[in-house]
Amino acid sequence: MVINKSFRIFLLLLVLLGTRFCALAQADQIEHLWYNEEKTAKIQVYKATDGKFYGKIVWLQTPDRDGKPKTDINNPDEKRRNDPELGLVILKGFGKNGDHGYQDGTIYDPKNGKTYSCKMTLNGNQLDVRGYIGFSLLGRTTKWTRAD
Protein backbone atom coordinates (compact mmCIF):
# COMPACT_ATOMS: atom_id res chain seq x y z
CA MET A 1 0.00 0.00 0.00
CA VAL A 2 2.83 2.45 0.84
CA ILE A 3 4.58 1.69 -2.46
CA ASN A 4 1.33 2.27 -4.31
CA LYS A 5 0.86 5.68 -2.65
CA SER A 6 4.47 6.70 -3.32
CA PHE A 7 4.13 5.62 -6.92
CA ARG A 8 0.98 7.76 -7.32
CA ILE A 9 2.76 10.80 -5.90
CA PHE A 10 5.69 10.17 -8.25
CA LEU A 11 3.36 9.96 -11.25
CA LEU A 12 1.55 13.11 -10.20
CA LEU A 13 4.86 14.99 -9.98
CA LEU A 14 5.85 13.70 -13.41
CA VAL A 15 2.57 14.89 -14.89
CA LEU A 16 2.92 18.32 -13.26
CA LEU A 17 6.50 18.74 -14.45
CA GLY A 18 5.57 17.52 -17.92
CA THR A 19 2.74 20.03 -18.11
CA ARG A 20 5.10 22.82 -17.05
CA PHE A 21 7.67 21.91 -19.69
CA CYS A 22 4.99 21.65 -22.38
CA ALA A 23 3.74 25.12 -21.47
CA LEU A 24 7.28 26.48 -21.74
CA ALA A 25 7.80 24.73 -25.06
CA GLN A 26 4.68 26.37 -26.47
CA ALA A 27 6.00 29.90 -25.95
CA ASP A 28 6.53 31.56 -29.31
CA GLN A 29 10.05 32.32 -30.46
CA ILE A 30 9.37 36.07 -30.40
CA GLU A 31 8.31 36.06 -26.74
CA HIS A 32 11.49 37.48 -25.27
CA LEU A 33 13.08 40.63 -23.97
CA TRP A 34 14.48 42.81 -26.79
CA TYR A 35 16.82 45.80 -26.92
CA ASN A 36 15.78 48.53 -29.33
CA GLU A 37 18.41 49.39 -31.96
CA GLU A 38 19.99 52.13 -29.84
CA LYS A 39 19.97 49.88 -26.75
CA THR A 40 18.22 52.65 -24.79
CA ALA A 41 15.17 50.52 -23.99
CA LYS A 42 14.16 46.90 -23.45
CA ILE A 43 10.82 45.73 -24.77
CA GLN A 44 9.07 42.61 -23.47
CA VAL A 45 7.19 40.88 -26.28
CA TYR A 46 4.35 38.65 -25.12
CA LYS A 47 1.30 36.84 -26.44
CA ALA A 48 -1.96 38.16 -25.01
CA THR A 49 -5.17 36.25 -24.38
CA ASP A 50 -6.49 37.39 -27.78
CA GLY A 51 -3.72 35.33 -29.43
CA LYS A 52 -1.94 38.46 -30.71
CA PHE A 53 1.54 39.68 -29.82
CA TYR A 54 2.26 42.89 -27.93
CA GLY A 55 5.35 44.59 -26.57
CA LYS A 56 5.86 46.95 -23.66
CA ILE A 57 8.81 48.98 -22.44
CA VAL A 58 10.17 47.34 -19.29
CA TRP A 59 13.55 49.10 -18.97
CA LEU A 60 14.92 52.49 -19.98
CA GLN A 61 18.60 53.41 -19.97
CA THR A 62 17.57 56.88 -18.81
CA PRO A 63 14.27 56.44 -16.96
CA ASP A 64 14.11 60.02 -15.66
CA ARG A 65 13.69 63.43 -17.22
CA ASP A 66 14.41 66.48 -15.06
CA GLY A 67 14.55 64.29 -11.95
CA LYS A 68 11.13 62.70 -12.57
CA PRO A 69 10.13 59.47 -14.35
CA LYS A 70 9.82 59.97 -18.11
CA THR A 71 6.28 60.38 -19.36
CA ASP A 72 4.75 60.11 -22.82
CA ILE A 73 5.00 63.86 -23.46
CA ASN A 74 4.54 63.57 -27.24
CA ASN A 75 1.31 61.57 -27.10
CA PRO A 76 -1.28 63.16 -29.40
CA ASP A 77 -3.90 62.51 -26.70
CA GLU A 78 -3.23 65.24 -24.12
CA LYS A 79 -4.81 63.09 -21.38
CA ARG A 80 -2.11 60.43 -21.93
CA ARG A 81 0.92 62.73 -21.76
CA ASN A 82 1.43 62.01 -18.06
CA ASP A 83 1.48 58.22 -18.62
CA PRO A 84 4.90 56.83 -17.71
CA GLU A 85 7.06 55.57 -20.58
CA LEU A 86 8.07 52.63 -18.43
CA GLY A 87 5.32 50.06 -18.95
CA LEU A 88 4.08 51.73 -22.15
CA VAL A 89 2.74 49.23 -24.70
CA ILE A 90 4.36 50.18 -28.00
CA LEU A 91 3.71 47.04 -30.08
CA LYS A 92 0.08 46.03 -30.59
CA GLY A 93 -1.95 43.37 -32.35
CA PHE A 94 0.60 41.29 -34.29
CA GLY A 95 -0.46 38.04 -35.87
CA LYS A 96 1.94 35.28 -36.83
CA ASN A 97 2.77 35.01 -40.53
CA GLY A 98 4.72 31.84 -41.34
CA ASP A 99 7.60 30.60 -39.22
CA HIS A 100 9.39 33.91 -38.63
CA GLY A 101 7.02 36.70 -39.63
CA TYR A 102 4.59 38.85 -37.65
CA GLN A 103 2.21 41.26 -39.33
CA ASP A 104 -0.87 43.47 -39.12
CA GLY A 105 0.33 45.18 -35.96
CA THR A 106 1.23 48.72 -35.01
CA ILE A 107 4.22 50.34 -33.37
CA TYR A 108 4.04 53.53 -31.33
CA ASP A 109 7.08 55.81 -31.25
CA PRO A 110 7.13 57.79 -27.98
CA LYS A 111 9.86 60.06 -29.43
CA ASN A 112 7.37 61.67 -31.81
CA GLY A 113 3.97 60.43 -30.58
CA LYS A 114 3.14 58.70 -33.86
CA THR A 115 1.75 55.23 -34.49
CA TYR A 116 2.75 53.31 -37.58
CA SER A 117 1.66 50.09 -39.26
CA CYS A 118 4.29 47.49 -38.55
CA LYS A 119 5.56 44.06 -39.44
CA MET A 120 8.37 42.11 -37.83
CA THR A 121 10.68 39.35 -38.99
CA LEU A 122 12.69 37.15 -36.66
CA ASN A 123 16.26 36.37 -37.78
CA GLY A 124 17.86 34.30 -35.01
CA ASN A 125 18.62 36.67 -32.12
CA GLN A 126 17.64 39.70 -34.17
CA LEU A 127 14.18 41.12 -34.77
CA ASP A 128 13.69 43.31 -37.84
CA VAL A 129 10.96 45.79 -36.97
CA ARG A 130 9.56 47.72 -39.94
CA GLY A 131 7.30 50.67 -39.29
CA TYR A 132 5.49 52.18 -42.26
CA ILE A 133 2.63 54.32 -43.48
CA GLY A 134 0.36 52.73 -46.07
CA PHE A 135 2.71 50.30 -47.81
CA SER A 136 5.68 48.58 -46.21
CA LEU A 137 7.88 49.97 -49.00
CA LEU A 138 7.37 53.42 -47.46
CA GLY A 139 8.94 52.87 -44.09
CA ARG A 140 11.99 52.24 -41.97
CA THR A 141 13.43 49.07 -40.46
CA THR A 142 15.20 48.96 -37.13
CA LYS A 143 17.04 45.93 -35.81
CA TRP A 144 16.35 44.80 -32.26
CA THR A 145 18.55 42.28 -30.46
CA ARG A 146 17.66 39.73 -27.80
CA ALA A 147 18.34 41.03 -24.31
CA ASP A 148 17.68 37.79 -22.39
What are the DSSP calls for 28-85, one per residue? -TT-SEEE-TTSSEEEEEEE-TTS-EEEEEEEESS-EETTEE-B-TT-SSGGGTTSBS
Whether 133 has a pLDDT exceeding 70, the answer reads: yes
Q: What is the CATH number of domain 29-146?
A: 2.40.128.520
SS3 category, 105? strand
pLDDT of amino acid 19: 45
Whether 115 has a pLDDT exceeding 80, the answer reads: yes
Grade residue 15 by pLDDT with cuts at 50, 70 and 90: low
pLDDT of amino acid 18: 52
Per the prediction, the chain carries an average pLDDT of 89
Using alpha carbons, list the distances in angstroms from residue 66 to 6, 39, 62, 134: 62, 21, 11, 37
Whether 3 has a pLDDT exceeding 90, the answer reads: no
**CA-closest candidate to residue 39, choices 59, 21, 16:** 59
Ordered by start, the domain boundaries in the chain are 29-146
pTM over 0.95: no
Whether 22 has a pLDDT exceeding 50, the answer reads: no
pLDDT (tens digit per residue) in 74-111:
999 999 999 999 999 999 999 999 999 999 999 999 99
CA distance 42 to 121: 18
Number of H helices, E strands in the chain: 1, 10
CA distance 91 to 43: 9
pLDDT of amino acid 99: 94
Whether 53 has a pLDDT exceeding 50, the answer reads: yes
Query: Is 73 in contact with 62 (CB distance < 8 Å)?
Result: no
pLDDT of amino acid 62: 96
10 Å Cβ neighbour count for 8?
10
pLDDT of amino acid 21: 45
Query: Is 67 in contact with 89 (CB distance < 8 Å)?
Result: no
CA distance 92 to 118: 9
Grade residue 147 by pLDDT with cuts at 50, 70 and 90: very high
